Amino acid sequence: MVWITPPLSIAADLETKESLQAAVTAYLKPKLDALNTSRINIDVGSIDPRLRLKKCPEPLELDQLGNKSLSGKVNIRVRCPSASWGIFIPVDIQIFEPVVISRVSLPRGSVISRELLALREVESSSLNYSYFRDIDQVAGTEVVRPIQANSVIFTNMVQAADAIRKGDDVIIKAQVGGLSVRIKGQALQDGALGEQIQVRNTQSRRIIRAVVTGPGHVLVPM
């Protein structure tokens, strides 16, 4: 009888599916933790069981290809240069975080007050447009596209609300050094905070440009 001695622990000389998936998770985790979101799911894709990759004697090299946003479907390249192999492992990353939603339906042209807003955890990695994480970023803005109740508010749905409307009476402030002068005027244009609009000095009838500093108030840049 002839005894054939099997190779010494062939499996121990190969990378396993578990070791590769653990390497990918360890590579992504600190990057995802830095996003400071409420919850993240990492689903590492399947690895072809027919692959027989020699165990790497040094730490594996990993990098991300294509989509750099760390959300949705990404591809991670795993390499072992000394063993002359490299593979691509697909990963599905789901990011959940509180985003601003509208509690009620909002028609175009309405100004949004805080009580009409709420935060709700959603899978933000599935959203196709920019969104808000802070209610203060949305409160006081004006709706430019109708918003349905209980829906995420995207940045292209709102704009800064006009603090001044055309025809409003305004206080024009001009300041030179320590001297400040206030005169009455009339707005000739709509204007949001920080915008520059035309106003008419009620007394001189002169038309000047001034920066909107608040409801009914403008500042003449000097």
Closest-CA residue to 100 (of 147, 53, 34) = 147
* DSSP, residue by residue, 53-108: PBPPSSPPEEEEES--SSSEEEEEEEEEGGGTEEEEEEEEEEEEEEEEEESS-B-T
Domain with CATH 3.90.1210.10 in the chain: 96-160
| Cα distance between residue 93 and residue 43, in whole Å | 6
Q: Is 216 left (phi over 0), alpha (psi -120 to 50) or beta?
A: left
The CATH classification number of 162-220 equals 2.30.30.760
Q: One-letter amino acid identity for 221? A: P
What is the maximal distance between C-alpha atoms in the chain?
A: 119
The CATH classification number of 96-160 equals 3.90.1210.10
- Give the residue ranges of the chain where pLDDT is below 50: 1-9
Domain with CATH 2.30.30.760 in the chain: 162-220
